[in-house]
Amino acid sequence: MKIDAYEKLFLGLTVVALACFMGALAAAVNRHGIRLPHPTARVDPAALRAAPPPPFDQLGLVDKGGGAYDLNLLAAMWQYEPFFPDKMEAGVRVPAGATVTFNVSSPDVIHGFKIKDTNVNVMVIPGQVSTVTHTFDAPGVYTVLCHEYCGAGHHRMYFKLHVDPPAAAGADAGRAGGES
């Protein structure tokens, strides 16, 4: 089969471009440590409410010490429990520099879990536990939102994660938010 010179050149450049893209991806993964979500645990969605297994027996923020936190959430129609509608704005507070591990699972349908201005982006699929970790260096208010259609109230499903500047972060950081 005959391929003309210009076309050969063009296809060669395409291959080079694709190789560059793959190289950039490899660099992002290896040098910057960006990882995709991957399997961590499974859970029976019905048990999440009836007899929640760890870590979902303790919803909300859990201070693990040393700047590490767990945030255990039920993504349910249509809130991230324990942040029920009246607690969505207040959400949760952590000090700047906190490393938060999010454990999220759904007792009903598929939901999403995305934190604006971060690389946290994971599906929440009944039967699976979604676990992602992020270090919040920049203080500010982060919007956490559901980005998968989950029924009639999908557009109401969010909460706010407040990252306090170092000075303001008090000893109460671990207790704030929807936990009670």
Candidates 53, 117, 135, 140; binder of another protein (CB under 8 A) is 117
Residues in 44-73 at the binding interface with another protein, rule: CB under 8 A: 44-46
> Which CB sits closer to Cu ion, 161 or 173?
161
Identity of the amino acid at 155: H
Torsion on CA atoms 153, 47, 130, 73, rounded to nearest 10: 60
Identity of the amino acid at 48: L
The token duo for 133 is: 């970790």
When asked if residue 157 is in the footprint of Cu ion (CB under 5 A), the reply is yes
Q: What is Dmax (Cα atoms) for the chain?
A: 73
128 binds, among Cu ion, another protein, none (CB under 5 to 8 A by kind): another protein
DSSP string, 93-125: EEETTEEEEEEEE-SSS-EEEEETTSS-EEEE-
DSSP state of 54: T
CB 176, min distance to Cu ion, A: 23
From residue 78, alpha-carbon distances to 74, 110, 155 in Å are: 10, 11, 9
- In this structure, the strands spanning 140-145 and 111-115 are antiparallel
CB 148, min distance to Cu ion, A: 5
110 binds, among Cu ion, another protein, none (CB under 5 to 8 A by kind): another protein
x/- string (CB under 5 A) for Cu ion, residues 126-155? --------------------x---x---x-
* From 30-38, 53-61, 65-73, 171-179, span contacting another protein (CB under 8 A): 30-38
Which residues form the interface with another protein (CB under 8 A)? 1-4, 6-7, 10-11, 14-15, 18, 21-22, 24-25, 28-29, 32, 34-40, 42, 44-46, 77, 85, 88, 108-110, 112, 114-117, 119-131, 143, 145-152, 154-156, 158
